[in-house]
Structure 1
Amino acid sequence: MSKIDIRTVNVVQYVCPLREGGSLPAIVKADDGFLYVLKFRGAGQGKKALIAEFIGGEIARAIGLKVPELVFMNLDDSFSKTEPDEEIQDLLKFSVGLNLGLHFLSSAITYDPLVSNVDAMTASKVVILDSLISNIDRTAKNTNLLNWNNELWVIDNGASFYFHHNWKTWENHLTRTFPLIKDHVLLQKATSLEKASEDIKQTLTANKITEIVSNIPEDWLISEADSMSPTDMRNAYIEFINAKLSMIDLLVKEAEDAR
């Protein structure tokens, strides 16, 4: 399996905010000439949302789902100085440094469960992905999926791994299933869960999980509010994902029963 190579680019132009996102992401241009959706470290859930977004996105890619390229984006302090909107000005000020960008899929449309098509295998993989990463935010109200070039693309995994908002109790989450899967937007179309889980067991190896987690920028793992070291946090993410993978049959049964 190919090694992950995450590029780092610099923001050269703030194009416009995306008002539909609660954390006010923005479309920006980078020094490679491409447009990206920029997720800010200074937004509500801070760097933890970026970590969840990154791990979730790269796991999705590893199991064969379509995910826009993820890049690390350097933001300097010049943008906040020229921004007239006070809310955005603050966000830019608090986000100086390394942020996360998703390649902007021009003219993509939001997945609509009533009209969009998705094959059973893809739907099943997305359902299992969200069980594995405990993603509470892929519902009919907020699908966090795009249709682009007649294919389903997975975006916005920032609400995953919610155990990391309280490191003191993270180990309690290791043996839990994911009952909230009952609200998943793709659950009814996920009719190949068993076959998808076999495929995921083959592709999401322990080495791949370690490689993804090792690519999290050190800076994102440092917080005055947390007593755990970056190394301990990395090990916790790895242990959590492996624990969920070891109970994938249970998670599949839970999803089957909910469906």
Structure 2
Amino acid sequence: MPVNSPTGLRTVAATRYVTPFREGGSLPGLVEADDLGMYVLKFRGAGQGVKVLVAEIVVGELARRLGFRVPEIVLVELDPELARSEPDQEVQELLRASGGLNIGLDYLPGSFDYNPVVRAPEPTEATRLLWLDGLVLNVDRSWRNPNTLLWHRKLWLIDHGAALYPHHYWRADRFPADRYRFDAADHLMLPFAGALSEVDDELSAAITPELLDEVLALVPDEWLEGDEQFPGADRVRSAYRDLFAARLRAPRTWVDELEAARAARV
């Protein structure tokens, strides 16, 4: 049965692999767990590695605390023996490579990809989401790949594994953290966003050091301890704090760049 995790996220055990989602590059799958819930499982054994799972937790849970709708994120214990009943060799290999902790997002039955042309977003929500993705460097929320769902007529955010891309190398000498490139030209919400000044004041003030500590504490230590650049989970968490501090430090030139992209689109 589900247990409380030391990280604060619920932990469940996968009991049945149901089906793959072929549209996902990392081949996420639908699983049933011992709490009888259904979850979209993101595998630690996928090609992108555990840092994608770290980004899913950090960005997803930060978004939730800022008032966005995000499916519940749980830690999922996966027994590689589940691969025995799976006929697809690619899925078998992924299951066998992903024993231990993975993450799952609560499955939203009947949801479908959000299309802003069919249902225009509320302007403030669009502006806040554009700002959030600029902050976390989420390069994967475009009109081609919206990574948002419409469920019960509400917008839900999914798939944040491509965000926080500097953590794949952690080289402070590569670029200053406040200057990492974020091209908003194809962002899903750019045509619907308003001026960013008001949401910039609101959201930057809301992301306190205490809030960041709370979110970073949700990441399992074992996913951080294997980092090649920094020794130990605490040091890696400090690197994430430094990244956010640099992105939030005034003047936020990346916000000016978002505003310029928005103004050019209007």
TM-score range, shorter chain: over 0.9
1:57/1:248 Cα in 2 relative to 1: closer, same or farther (>3 Å)? farther
Q: Is the 8 A contact 1:132 1:248 kept in 2?
A: no
Q: Distance in 2 between matches of 1:162 and 1:140?
A: 20
Where structure 2 has 5 or more consecutive residues not aligned to the other structure, the ranges are 1-6
For 1:77, the equivalent position in structure 2 comes to: 80
Find the residue that maps to 1:180 and give its secondary structure. coil
**In structure 1, C-alpha distance between the alignment counterparts of 2:174 and 2:54, rounded to whole Å:** 18
Aligned to 1:181: 184
1:64 to 41, 64, 67: 67
Correspondent of 2:206 among 186, 197, 203: 203
- The one of 137, 140, 152 aligned to 2:143: 140
Q: Match of 2:57? A: 54
Matches within 5 A, 1:216-231: 216-223=219-226, 226-229=228-231, 230-231=233-234
Q: d(CA) in 1 for partners of 2:251 and 2:85?
A: 49
Matches within 5 A, 1:164-179: 164-169=167-172, 172-179=175-182
From 120, 143, 151, the counterpart of 1:117: 120
Which of 153, 157, 181 is 2:156 aligned to? 153
RMSD: 1.7
SS of residue in 2 equivalent to 1:92: helix
Deviation digits for residues 200-251 of structure 1 (CA, Å, limit 9, x no counterpart)? 134221100111112210111133x714222221110111112212247433
The change in CA–CA distance for 1:193 and 1:97 in structure 2 (over 3 A counts) is: same
Equivalent in the alignment of 2:4: none
Query: What is the CA–CA distance in structure 2 between the aligned matches of 1:73 and 1:199, rounded to whole Å?
Result: 34
Partners of 1:164 and 1:170 within 8 A in 2: no
- Contact in 2 for aligned 1:123/1:187 (Cα 8 Å): yes
The 8 Å contact of residues 163 and 169 in structure 1, kept in 2 or not, is answered as no
The farther-off stretch of 155-164 and 238-247 is: 238-247
1:108 to 93, 111, 118: 111
Alpha carbons 1:110, 1:144 under 8 Å: kept: yes
Q: Which letter does structure 1 place at the counterpart of 2:50?
A: K
Contact residue 131 and residue 178 of structure 1 kept, 8 A? no
* Matched letter for residue 241 of structure 2: I
Q: Is the Cα contact below 8 Å between 1:35 and 1:104 reproduced in 2?
A: yes
Distance, in Å, in 2 between the alignment partners of 1:170 and 1:74 is 37
Contact 2:29/2:42 (CA < 8 Å) preserved in 1? yes
Which whole-Å deviations, capped at 9, do the CAs of 1:104-145 have from their partners, x for residues lacking one? 111111011321221011111111111111111111110101
SS of match in other structure, 1:52: helix
Gap change, CA 1:25 and 1:247, over 3 Å in 2: farther
Contact 1:75/1:98, CA 8 A, preserved across alignment: yes
Kindly indicate whether the alpha-carbon contact (under 8 Å) linking 2:127 and 2:196 is maintained by their aligned counterparts in 1.
yes
Greater helix share, 1 or 2? 1
- Taking only the aligned residue pairs, the percentage that are identical comes to 40
What residue in structure 2 maps to residue 25 of structure 1?
28
Kindly provide the amino acid, as one letter, of the partner of residue 145 in structure 2. Answer: N
State the alpha-carbon separation in 2 of the partners of residues 34 and 188 from structure 1.
37
Contact persistence 2:57–2:218 (CA under 8 A) = no
Report deviation, 1:11. Answer: 0.6
Partner residue of 2:238 out of 213, 218, 235: 235
Is the CA contact (8 Å cut-off) linking 2:216 and 2:237 kept in structure 1?
A: yes
CA distance in 2, matches of 1:27, 1:127: 29
- CA contact under 8 A between 1:18 and 1:27: conserved in structure 2? yes
